[in-house]
Structure 1
Amino acid sequence: MSKATTTIALVDDDHAGELLTLRRAAFVSEAQLYDDPHIPPLTQTLAELRADLAREDVVTIGAWEGHRLVGSVRVEIEDQRATLGRLAVAPDKQGRGLGTQMLFAVLPYLPEQTKEIWVFTGKDSKQNLAMYTKHGYEEQFDKAAGDLTYTYLRRVLGELDARNAAGSS
């Protein structure tokens, strides 16, 4: 069986339904971990997702294998800061490095003035926290949102990141 090639590209409105499906499938395990089926990635409507995709301060990147969307990440840009959210990998593709690939795939899409990247995940999401810290993100603070507590992590971008972004373009 041949290994499928992964293509990274922007997600647009034409793929909104597929993105919504991917996120819901990917975030079921998080909902189970927190015993909460009402986490935001599972309750977002198609209309809300489309509005988010249309925002000028948000970039959503997808990973495709052939015609199938297998991963995505949302990036909100504000001044010199980018905040990653809703990093999603199809359940049958998890544990194979696609989430890590998505973390680095955002670099070419960031404005030149971006100095730091923030991410957040549930405080008890040990695998997510391990992935982020492995790749240079440092825990900054926890913040409660209803019954959930999110851990916020930050990575300051450096010269190596700029070179990687330039090489990926």
Structure 2
Amino acid sequence: MSETQIRIDLVDDANAGELLTLRRAAFVTEAQQYGDPNIPPLTQTLHELREDLARDDVTTIGAWEGHRLVGSVRVEIEGQKATLGRLAVAPDQQGHGIGTQLMWAVLPYLPDETKEIWVFTGKDSLQNLALYQRQGYEEQYDKSAGDLTFTYLRRILGEAQARSAH
């Protein structure tokens, strides 16, 4: 990690444009890997992103280096399940632990009744799969969406893990 301190905080509507730029930059490599420039993180409009940020069941957390947004993750809550998505780290900051920090930073934002966290990524995204597995996520199943196949992974929260985050 660089010597500059990373600050983790909620992303709000005022940061929507910067978040959209970050996601597009971070997901270009994924799109290139799959030969598909139309993956959702690259086609989402600013209006759609703002609608997503306003949802009550979605929390978006960002990592800032100074005033620059260098990472983000989206958390959707559905009952006792949280689903992480759109984990994005600026290309020049990848490999410095920001994604890992963000994955742990979601814990304090989860409702007390959350029992499990799910993540998904492209089946061929070996670096992403390895990151999730290092954090205790286990592969559950694959699901096709058009030409892409996603791998879904789950992590069961223990009582101590979920509560220590509060």
What is the TM-score with the length of structure 1 in the denominator? 0.95
- Answer yes or no: is the 8 Å Cα contact 2:75–2:84 preserved in 1: yes
Structure 1 residue runs without a partner (length 5+): none
Pairing 1:120–2:113 present: no
Equivalent position SS for 2:165: helix
Deviation at 1:159, TM superposition (A): 3.1
TM-score (norm 2): 0.97
The question of 1:85 aligning with 2:85 is answered yes
Write the letter of the residue equivalent to 1:85: G
Residues 1:49 and 2:49 are matched in the alignment? yes
> CA–CA distance in 2 between the matches of 1:95 and 1:28?
16
Q: For residues 70-109 of structure 1, what are the structure 2 equivalents within 5 Å?
A: 70-109=70-109
Superposition RMSD in Å: 0.9
Q: 3-state DSSP class of the match of 1:31?
A: helix
Question: Is 1:62 matched up with 2:54?
Answer: no
Q: Distance in 2 between matches of 1:106 and 1:135?
A: 13
Match of 1:141 in 2: 141
- Structure 2 stretches lacking a partner, 5+ long: none
Residue in 2 aligned with 1:13?
13
Q: Identity over the aligned pairs, expressed in percent?
A: 76
1:162 Cα deviation after fit: 2.4
How many residues end up aligned between the 2 structures?
A: 165
Q: Which residue is equivalent to 1:161?
A: 161
- Where do 4+ consecutive residues of structure 1 move more than 3 Å? none
Q: In the alignment, which residue of structure 2 is the partner of 1:130? A: 130
